[in-house]
């Protein structure tokens, strides 16, 4: 009996590890592990090969590049990296357009500068009119005003209600379902290999939290644009002088703290995570500082840039994407091609269509 229990315990330990999904016996009754295929939505490609080789190296205790689990930190941009920029711009831009130009409860009281910003988004989406320079900051300041006074619960519900709408330009998908399915498998793979991953986005932190909740990313793993918060009865008194009551809620204000782009991403990673990442994933120039910070790590590191070069299954500018791909390779980043590397983007039931307005 003791020998049987010992064998069962050993088999359980082998099968229970994060990199194996089952156990099988060969002809000699020796238990062999069967590795799980985490990448069923991927084609064999250079970027995936590089990622797997990297992970296998740094998780091997016998490798000179071995990284302890507490230092296996990965950072991911959101929009265009694992959430589609499919409207044809950021979710938060379209949410502001809806809030200011269509929401009957707000559109008639929106400040003029906020209306101007929302109209610029609409003109870009519908007519292709170029957005003004430094529009990311203009949008951030307008968005701070547009949602000021909402409690965090009210804002969360507002974001989720918009996300539940049918995605313009696609059939079979809501805005909130617009995840790149192959990239979700990267999350699973990294978690199975002892990595902790964070979303580090230029979008509003609370928008990001609402969008990634369905895929199991915890709120404390999300870093994004921030506005100042106050308790409902605090007024203008400084928080250091005011004691919040049990009956109060937290509300958004119209005061922007930070737009989390470029070097601001690095500053926020340092402040909130406290460690330099060893893996970094992004899709645009706004992620280069985060990638470079990662590659400065004394531990072995790698950075990946996704390019939106699939104009058959998604709304994409292929020529621009290919040009960016060359730029990212020269910078020392691995390039993920949506067209060549992904077997699917949003799932087999989703089809690209023309935008309707």
Residues 246-276 have pLDDT tens digits of 999 999 999 999 999 999 999 999 999 999 9
Closest CA to 287 of 274, 304, 310: 304
Per-residue confidence (pLDDT) for residue 357, from 0 to 100: 83
pTM across the whole model = 0.89
* Beta-bridge partner residues of 307: 337
- HSE-CB at 31 with a 13 A cutoff on CA atoms is 12
Per-residue confidence (pLDDT) for residue 6, from 0 to 100: 40
The alpha carbon of 277 is separated from its chain's Cα centroid by a whole number of angstroms, namely: 15
Among 13-17, 70-74, 140-144, 185-189, the minimum mean pLDDT is found in 13-17
Sequence-distant (6+) residues with CB within 8 A of 316 are 308, 309, 310, 338
Q: Which residue has the higher pLDDT, 253 or 355?
A: 253
Whether the per-residue pLDDT at 5 is higher than 60: the answer is no
Instruction: Please check whether residue 80 is in contact with residue 306, taking contact to mean a CB–CB distance below 8 angstroms.
Output: yes
pLDDT confidence bin for 34, thresholds 50/70/90: low
Whether the per-residue pLDDT at 87 is higher than 90: the answer is no
Whether the per-residue pLDDT at 11 is higher than 60: the answer is no
**Quick check: bond before 355 cis, omega within 30?**
no
Which DSSP letter does residue 299 get?
Answer: S
Instruction: Please check whether residue 266 is in contact with residue 293, taking contact to mean a CB–CB distance below 8 angstroms.
Output: yes
Instruction: Summarize pLDDT for 321-346 with one digit per residue, the tens.
Output: 999 999 999 999 999 999 999 999 99
Length of the chain: 357
Instruction: Summarize pLDDT for 203-234 with one digit per residue, the tens.
Output: 999 999 999 999 999 999 999 999 999 999 99
Per-residue confidence (pLDDT) for residue 28, from 0 to 100: 46
Instruction: Summarize pLDDT for 43-64 with one digit per residue, the tens.
Output: 999 999 999 999 999 999 999 9
Tokens matching residue 334 = 């691995």
Domain edges within the chain = 2-35, 46-352
Q: What angle do CA 308, 166, 127 make, to 5 degrees?
A: 60
* Beta-bridge partner residues of 336: 306
Whether the per-residue pLDDT at 13 is higher than 60: the answer is no
Whether the per-residue pLDDT at 18 is higher than 60: the answer is no
SS3 state of residue 129: coil
CATH fold, domain 46-352, is: Rossmann fold (3.40.50)
Share of the chain above pLDDT 70, in %: 90
Per-residue confidence (pLDDT) for residue 35, from 0 to 100: 77
Per-residue confidence (pLDDT) for residue 184, from 0 to 100: 98
Q: Which residue has the higher pLDDT, 17 or 268?
A: 268
Whether the per-residue pLDDT at 295 is higher than 50: the answer is yes
Residue with tokens 């390019």: 307
Instruction: Summarize pLDDT for 107-129 with one digit per residue, the tens.
Output: 999 999 999 999 999 999 989 99
Q: What would the mean pLDDT of 73-95 be, rounded to a whole number?
A: 92
Residues 12 and 292: their CA atoms lie apart, in Å, by 42
Mean pLDDT of the chain: 91
């Amino acid at each position: 009996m003791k020998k049987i229990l010992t064998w069962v315990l050993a088999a359980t330990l082998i099968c229970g590890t994060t990199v194996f999904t089952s156990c099988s016996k060969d002809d000699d009754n020796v238990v062999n592990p069967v590795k799980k295929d985490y990448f069923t939505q991927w084609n064999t490609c250079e970027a995936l090969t590089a990622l797997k080789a990297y992970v296998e190296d740094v998780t091997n205790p016998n490798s000179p590049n071995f990284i302890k689990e507490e230092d296996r930190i990965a950072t991911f941009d959101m929009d265009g990296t694992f959430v589609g920029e499919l409207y044809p711009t950021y979710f938060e831009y379209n949410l502001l357009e809806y809030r200011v130009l269509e929401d009957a409860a707000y559109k008639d009281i929106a400040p003029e500068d906020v209306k101007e910003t929302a109209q610029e988004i609409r003109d870009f989406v519908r007519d292709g009119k170029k957005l003004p320079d430094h529009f990311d900051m203009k949008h951030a300041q307008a968005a701070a005003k547009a949602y000021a006074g909402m409690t965090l619960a009210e804002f969360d519900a507002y974001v989720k209600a918009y996300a539940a709408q049918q995605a313009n330009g696609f059939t079979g998908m809501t805005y909130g379902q617009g995840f790149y399915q192959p990239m979700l498998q990267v999350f699973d793979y990294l978690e199975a290999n002892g990595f902790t991953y964070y979303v580090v986005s230029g979008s509003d932190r609370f928008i990001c939290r609402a969008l990634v909740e369905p895929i199991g990313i915890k709120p404390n793993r999300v870093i994004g644009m921030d506005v100042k918060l106050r308790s409902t009865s605090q007024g203008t008194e400084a928080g250091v002088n005011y004691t919040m009551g049990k009956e109060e809620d937290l509300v958004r204000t119209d005061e922007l703290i930070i737009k989390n782009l470029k070097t601001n991403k690095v500053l926020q990673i340092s402040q909130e995570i406290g460690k330099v990442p060893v893996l970094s994933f992004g899709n645009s120039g706004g992620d280069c500082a985060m990638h470079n910070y990662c590659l400065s790590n004394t531990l072995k590191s790698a950075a990946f840039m996704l390019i939106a070069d699939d104009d058959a299954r998604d709304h994409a500018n292929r020529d621009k994407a290919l040009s960016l791909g060359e730029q990212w390779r020269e910078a020392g980043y691995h390039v993920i091609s949506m067209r060549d590397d992904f077997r699917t983007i949003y799932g087999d039931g989703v089809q690209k269509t023309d935008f309707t307005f």
